[in-house]
Chain A
Amino acid sequence: MRISTATEDWLGAVTVSGELDAGTAPLLREALDEQLARGIRWLLVDLQGLDFIGSVGIGELIRITKRLGEIGGDLAVVCQRPNVRRVFEISGTSELLHLHQDRAAARRFLEASCRERQTATPREEGEGDGQTE
């Protein structure tokens, strides 16, 4: 599994590719927690390059969604691959995790969420870019 992160203005983005299971989920947890530690409250998780997801990976996304909700933020997931979407749908988590077909739609959702709460924290473009493998 490969993970890259980027902080763009008020928005954090975590891009994941490969296979997300109980063996690799700790890497995702680390990347998501790092975003929160940087003060990010609106987080886009891009799973377009993900080939496989299991229940532990979904559990990580639920955990971070709840934490973001507690601090007045929100999360959106980008996922196109039918086999991965199917696991979200069967588990009944598509709505909770705000699944979108592309990054633009996910971003629009988070922008609307941010405007609604009117508490965005401006950040510098490109701040805190990093990559984990």
Chain B
Amino acid sequence: MAKPSEDMIELTIPCHPRYLGVARLLVGGLGAQAGLSVDDVDDMKVAVSEAVTNVMDHAYGGGTQGRVLVRYRPSAGELAVEVEDTGAGFDPSRLPAGGPPKPGPEGGLGLYLVRELTDSMKVESAPGSGTKITITKRHHG
């Protein structure tokens, strides 16, 4: 469980890809505040964007009616972000592991990028119970 943080910022966005840029925007400011390098912040922008995109694609049957909750927890040398929905959920044990998925236009790349571009990724979900993805990026100099 994430440590309580006085600096926690919560953002709720509509389930529409036009708001992806809004979710990324806070990563820039809060990542710099946490002491992350420009490269670290760039990686985290991709990771947060992909985690939110994953919600938009899967949580609410591809529709735009749901909401996505994004919590940012900056601390010294680290930015943790939680992306949460109350949608369909899934069995996390079915997530593919290993190398990059076979290149194709059908997707499958998003959560792989999240895992590769961050220091940790935790997926909590169950069918019918929504999903919470927690990702962390630390300062790498």
Query: Nearest chain B CB to A34's CB is how many angstroms away?
Result: 18
For B, the interface residue count at a CB cutoff of 8 angstroms equals: 30
Instruction: Name the segment of B16-24, B73-81, B125-133 touching the other chain.
Output: B16-24
* Residues of chain A with a CB closer than 8 A to B136's CB: none
Q: How many Å lie between the Cα of A44 and that of B57 in the bound state? A: 29
| Interface majority SS (helix, strand, loop, mixed), chain A | helix
- For the complex, is A66 an interface residue (Cβ under 8 Å from B)? yes
Interface residues of A in 40-75 (CB under 8 A from B): 52-56, 58-60, 62-63, 66
Q: Which of B42, B50, B112 contacts A54 (CB 8 A)?
A: B50
For A, the interface residue count at a CB cutoff of 8 angstroms equals: 24
Q: How many Å lie between the Cα of A55 and that of B42 in the bound state? A: 14
Given contacts A62-B104, A66-B105, contact A54 B53 (CB under 8 A): yes
Interface, chain B (partner A; CB < 8 A):
16-21, 24, 39, 42-43, 45-46, 49-50, 53, 56-57, 99-100, 103-107, 109-110, 112-113, 116-117
